[in-house]
A and B are shown apart, each in its own frame.
Chain A
Amino acid sequence: MLEIKQKARELLESGKAQVVIGYGKGPNNTTRAIFVRKPEDADKLVLDDTCVQNLALYIYKHEVRHFGKEAVVATLPVLRSLLQLASENQVKDNEIIAIAITPDNKVVELDSFAAIEEHVRLFNTGLTEDEKDLLKKINAMGLEERWAFWNKEFSKCIKCYACRQSCPMCYCPRCAAEVNQPQWIPVAAHQHGNIEWHIMRAMHLAGRCINCGDCARACPVDIPLNLLTYNLIEELNNEFKYTAGLSASQTYVLSTWKLEDKETFIR
């Protein structure tokens, strides 16, 4: 943790970065995102098991970007988000400095996508056994049972959009849910509106979700939204050998066509 503070201080003192996005503590010993702009405030940074929020969404927040060059304390989901955002042309190479931790607990400064890609390869990026078990459980349900399960979960939704707002991949300035000519998705938090919203969001994340789990953590009514994305991650892995957020230059799997694709309809 000391090294993180030192690195942040160094970056701010040298002027290499004007803001370090990292984790700090709130008054009830909670962990929260903090935005360090002065070298002397680098001491407020912490890094422990409670630092789970995906900070990547702050890099394009207007007020944060306004401070100047950004550095971010980057856990694996943050790094993968950066690569995914890069592949979607949302962030440029050398634009962000990632302060990352190697598997043997050393602090490293990654300032290019190539460096981030190399670093990410050191980690397991598949679903964990626990995640796979959850997925197995839900997929073991029959069609009707599963439909009933999701209907019950979605009925709790209050359309606060915390799932969307917490997601680094949901960066559209105007979400499909907010387009009203035509109105794609009913605004009201009734069953129809809720189901369409969550299914639409999941489909928009197919092949893009890097599995940080923030949508489910953010949900104030505990809808297990990450179960939807686990399934998408597994499907894409099984069908296309594709994992999101591993490379800044990978093309989007669901909009690329290859001669050797097994489907024949396009030939």
Chain B
Amino acid sequence: MTETDVTLRVADLRVDLASGAQPVEGVSFDVRQGEMLGIVGESGSGKSMTLRAMSGLLPHGVRATVTGSVTVAGTELATASGRPPRHPRVGDRAAFGYVFQEPLAALNPGFTIRRHLLEALRAHGRLGDRSDRHDRLVAALADVRLPEPERVLRSHPHELSGGMRQRVVIALALIGRPHVLLADEPTTALDVTVAAEVLDLVQTLQREHSLTSVLVSHDLSLVAQRCDRVLVMYGGEIVESGAAADLMTSPQHPYTQRLLEATVDPFDPELRRTPDPEVESRAPLMTAGGVTVTYPARRRRQDPVVAVDGVDVAVRAGEVVAVVGESGSGKSSMAKALAGMQPVDDGDVRLGGRTVTTDRRDRTWLTGEVQMVFQDPYSALNPRMPVGTAIQRSLAIHQPALDAASRREEARRLLDDVGLPRSFEDRYPVELSGGQRQRVVVARALAAQPRVLLADEPTSALDVSVQAQLLALLRDLVDRRDLGMLLITHDFAAVRAIADRVVVMSRGRIVEAAPIDDLITTPTDPYTRRLLDAVPSARRTHTTQEST
């Protein structure tokens, strides 16, 4: 690598927070012209902070000292003493363009897309002539392949889809003609097919604009698939770096090895699940027949929204059935209907010979049979209640025969069951990590002695290594307690890890239902195939590379 090839050089970057913490402890790396560098790490690894610090974008109100040097296209941005300058420029181009994780939050809800673009143009002193301004705005949107740019210009962010919003954010980042495009988890908030499109777009733009880019993500498969080289960060330091392919096949650092081990590749043939004929012969525990859920029209003269349209699902004791779909597919409405929290307009949900209704009088029976594991363990627990008490509360409702002492003992046993030390009973949720909290949520659900667990995206708020552990726990509980489990998710890795059968939903209907192995290897429906194609998988990429 010759010196002139290097577009971005970061040397000994450190961030010292006023609180004494050091989220970034001496990070150094080079990115060559036209290269896409990946940075992988879990939450708290310092990967986002590295991007923020080098581009002068520390969050508002964070007091920190940034040291080290950042060189873009041969020009040093930061001196050893202070923060990098706000919005550094090199020549007449911006040093960095930034793409954020959640495009809805990253766009100002009060501004139209036109105003966003105008603000960016103004900031770069490129407002230019009024006469061709409109054409330039349209061109900026066409550049990121946005259809109907005229309509998009007039829209507010909430009127666009997630993928369109992220394209707008990319268009905004490109207005300063940056040397380096920094993308911080740019697809985490997007559906898998949309995510693939957005990343394809970034790679196309990178070629067209001869950009250099840095892609930060928690998703090892995604980074390995898209990037040339990958850095692995842990505890504010780079623990390993290398070519993406090498990293995936022979990781050197123990942390990378652990991360790789926890990363489920849905296309890994070793993950085949052998069906248990005994379980398969059982009669269904919970069945949904022709379930239809509609929501009333939001405005007059609009048709009501059919969220779920005649869906059949059944789950047996001892098996995990996954309901997979993208946002808007109706999977969450289906989950609500199954839990008796959403009236069903047609069809019925039956459980143990009874029909599930939203009737309040059936609530105690129903919650004794079906328990939920929620997506966000941070808000699913009362922050003012020790976790032991939370479990005991559930016990008091569902096992009223127990006295206080045996409730306490039972709560401790449940902590054992979910792999938490008994001493945790006096801790408050804030003292627990995300994965530990989710275990408490599971323990609380088990306290009701349910026959069915309904898990709605139980792992999407967790780090990769924690996800794997939680999924293993859930599978283990299903097997040991003969529970039926419905796993509602968009994540094929989670499905591959624990599900026996999969139901793929799109636009409120089931497009395909099959045992997991069949679905992965021989998907029949075109939508399922598209969904699977969009799943980042290093393994699949490698096989296609080998075959070509």
B and A form one assembly = no
